[in-house]
Amino acid sequence: MKKLLFVLTLMLSTTLAYPQSKTYQLSSHILDISKGMPASDVPIRLEKLDADKKTWSAVAEKVTDSNGRISDFLSAESANEGIYKLTFFTAAYFKKQKIESFYPFIEVVFEIKGSKHYHVPITLSAYGYATYRGN
């Protein structure tokens, strides 16, 4: 009985000490190519298209970290197939730097098929941007 209690206590303490890390299916990144630096503190909204109603519904809104990244969109624990839109709210980012810019926000629409990881970054300057499917 003492051995069983010891094993259970050990298992419980190990589980609490090393929690399972959650995985995510979608991440994003902004690189300000005019400075060669990540763009931090930029809000990004994720929305999903309801194809029948032809409307977008909000999924999440997050802010880029000091490396210009958001790594925790869409938990991989659920099925996420569908058409999504990331809106990068760039106006305040440039205004804070006292830089005039052309795009107040940038919308990137893409489709998730299957369970692979999707990385949707943008490279950004005050008068242009590019996007691609990263990994």
Side-chain half-sphere CA neighbours of 84 within 13 A: 24
The one-letter code for the residue type at 123 is: T
Residue 71 neighbours by CB distance under 10 Å = 14
In the chain, how many H helices and how many E strands?
Answer: 2, 9
| 81 CB burial (10 A radius; 0-12, 13-18, 19+) | exposed
- Binding-site residues sit at 29, 69, 132
- Binding-site residues for substrate sit at 29, 69, 132
CB 69 within 8 A of CB 38: yes
Query: Tokens 């629409």 appear where?
Result: 109
